[in-house]
Structure 1
Amino acid sequence: MTAMTMRAVQAVEAGGAFVPARVPVPEPGAGQVRVRVHACGVCAGEAIARHGLMGARHPRVPGHEIGGTVDAVGPGVSAWNPGDRVGVGWHGGQCSTCAACRTGDFANCAERLIVGADLDGGYAEYTVVPQSALARLPEALGFEEAAPLMCAGVTVFNALRKSGARPGDTVAVQGVGGLGHLAIQYADRMGFRVVAVSRGREKEEAARALGADDYIDASDAGGRGAGAALAAAGGARAVLATAGDAAAQADIAQGLQGNGTLLVAGTPHDPIPVSSLLLVTGRRSVQGCYSGHAKDSEEAMEFAVLTGIRPMVETYKLEEAEQAYGSMGTARFRGVLVP
């Protein structure tokens, strides 16, 4: 019997372009679910598969912002049924037995899986993942709306709700792009006074429409830098850095209030040169913002439905994955592949 095949896009060599291919439709094993992909967001995290980072092997199907439906279930799966609307994010499941998992810290599982890096992701018509990786999609969200919330959305949602900031506090969002435009909405709906920070004025109108109360042009901050401009305006209890620029992240940290936190979501892969004096004298801190597990994703989506948060998306055909990946720096604001 000839195996069924599907359309997919693969990373086939380190540093090479994404390549359309036909591959066998995967079969779910014990504890696994096959998802028919209706939409898959395009994220900078695809660099892991593209460049063979963090142990990723080639060929690999990237993609970890998946919205779809359950197509088939493997032995031992009882919580999911064919036709269920589901999402799959960065977190591809946990062992549930290591020291971190036993405390409920699934993000730090010793055996955690990354969708699109350790296992094939959503740049395909179907994907197979552990059942623990599935989040239930609210009926009010379309697949193209839900997909970006499975990584970009849950990352900024988790960062903000764990930041220590309270309603009425000032929170700055550095970068108004795929992550930042969602961070502005989440911060606004959580009751913070939101300051958007970006280079130039072309994104100011959009930032304010999304919920920003104020805007700082990082390229025109009176020669002082965006961090000094933020400090002069009263400073921020938290700064969520979504743009992957180490120098810009170090600069915006100058705008933290005492006891404030720089939340790093954008990863420049370079050291962030934050002054130790700045940290010590104001008891300020720098904190990494790691995505979230399936339940976190469900809560991020439920909050989005409750408060009217929606990603701004541009859709592409599956075969246009390379084009979509290359447009991330200019798209407004999140590319989504629609198989």
Structure 2
Amino acid sequence: MMIARATGLVAIPDELAAVEAAPLLCAGLATFNALRKSGARAGDLVAIQGIGGLGHLAVQYAKRMGFKVVAIGRGSDKAAHALVLGAHHYIDAKVDDPVALLQQFGRAQVILTTITDSAAVSPLMAALAPQGRLVIVGVGREPLTILPSALVGGERSVQGTITGTPYESEKTLDFSVMADVRAQVETMPLERAWDAYQRVKSGDVKFRMVLTMDDQSIAQ
């Protein structure tokens, strides 16, 4: 049993199972809200940096919102997956320069970064279009290093965003049902929470871990 404020509760659509809804109320809400508030319009070039638990949902949302989507990851093994999720282009940051390629594509109106490596995030300011926006979802421990000229010259901006309200949570779920956006998850029973935590720390989870009230482990 639990007691909760009525104003903090969220109605979950019948079309979503609890395991499907759970990650959408965390990673889904964070990325969906970030894109909604980014100022990007249908047809704009939008780049998603990091194709993990947050990024794999951000790519799906961006595609469904009508953006031209560029996914930026590390490693060629993520290329096919990013394209299946909806990206129009994939940049392997281990091989190519994301800034140079985004400039070739015409510069991004929005770059949504989901990673915590500030050193990899900061250079992307140079890949933004005039009045473009760098939207931060990943929380790194090191400061961003951005020259004032990168902001002033093209009236560019940096914006942070984090999750949202119960109302925005319901908007996220409704859009996810309508546009068929789902997180890719693994599940473990609550009794194995420590094992699940260790697996998350290892980086092997693709892409979210959900604890369940049963004794079955499912990989999807």
Match of 2:68 in 1: 193
Aligned-residue offset at 1:245: 1.1
SS of 2:158's equivalent? strand
Q: CA-to-partner distance for each residue in 1:110-160, whole Å, 9 max, x for gaps?
A: xxxxxxxxxxxxxxxxxx332221110000001000000111111111110
Match of 1:165 in 2: 40
Rounded to whole Å, the distance in 2 between the matches of 1:326 and 1:256 is 37
On the 8 A contact 1:174/1:252 being kept in 2, the answer is: no
Greater Rg, structure 1 or structure 2? 1
On the 8 A contact 1:315/1:336 being kept in 2, the answer is: yes
Matched, 1:298 2:173: no
Q: CA-to-partner distance for each residue in 1:271-290, whole Å, 9 max, x for gaps?
A: 11122211111111110011
Rounded to whole Å, the distance in 1 between the matches of 2:194 and 2:8 is 26
Decide which of 265, 290, 299 is 2:137's aligned counterpart: 265
Higher helix share: 2
Match of 2:158 in 1: 286
Unmatched tracts of structure 2, length 5 or more = 214-220
Rounded to whole Å, the distance in 1 between the matches of 2:121 and 2:99 is 9
Larger deviation: 283-292 or 320-329? 320-329
Rounded to whole Å, the distance in 2 between the matches of 1:207 and 1:139 is 28
Larger deviation: 188-197 or 325-334? 325-334
Rounded to whole Å, the distance in 1 between the matches of 2:111 and 2:198 is 27
* Aligned AA (2:148): S
Rounded to whole Å, the distance in 2 between the matches of 1:189 and 1:319 is 37
* Aligned AA (2:186): E
On the 8 A contact 1:216/1:230 being kept in 2, the answer is: no
Aligned-residue offset at 1:322: 2.6
Equivalent pairs, count? 211
Decide which of 172, 179, 195 is 1:307's aligned counterpart: 179
Rounded to whole Å, the distance in 2 between the matches of 1:332 and 1:202 is 13
* Aligned AA (1:338): T
Decide which of 203, 206, 219 is 1:332's aligned counterpart: 206
Higher strand share: 1
TM-score (ref. length: structure 2): 0.92
Rounded to whole Å, the distance in 1 between the matches of 2:110 and 2:183 is 22
Which structure 2 residues correspond to residues 1-339 of structure 1 after superposition, within 5 A? 34=2, 128-221=3-96, 225-328=97-200, 329-339=203-213
SS of 1:197's equivalent? strand
Aligned-residue offset at 1:327: 3.0
Rounded to whole Å, the distance in 2 between the matches of 1:252 and 1:325 is 32
Aligned-residue offset at 1:301: 0.4
* Aligned AA (2:181): I
Higher RCO structure, 1 or 2 (CA under 8 Å, sep 6+): 2
Rounded to whole Å, the distance in 2 between the matches of 1:262 and 1:333 is 24
TM-score (ref. length: structure 1): 0.60
Q: CA-to-partner distance for each residue in 1:279-330, whole Å, 9 max, x for gaps?
A: 1111111100111011100000000000111110000121322332333333
* Aligned AA (1:226): P
Distance 1:325-1:274 versus aligned 2 partners, 3 A rule = farther
On the 8 A contact 1:195/1:215 being kept in 2, the answer is: yes
Distance 1:138-1:270 versus aligned 2 partners, 3 A rule = same
Rounded to whole Å, the distance in 2 between the matches of 1:163 and 1:327 is 33
CA RMSD of aligned residues (A): 1.2
Distance 1:326-1:260 versus aligned 2 partners, 3 A rule = farther
* Aligned AA (2:21): A
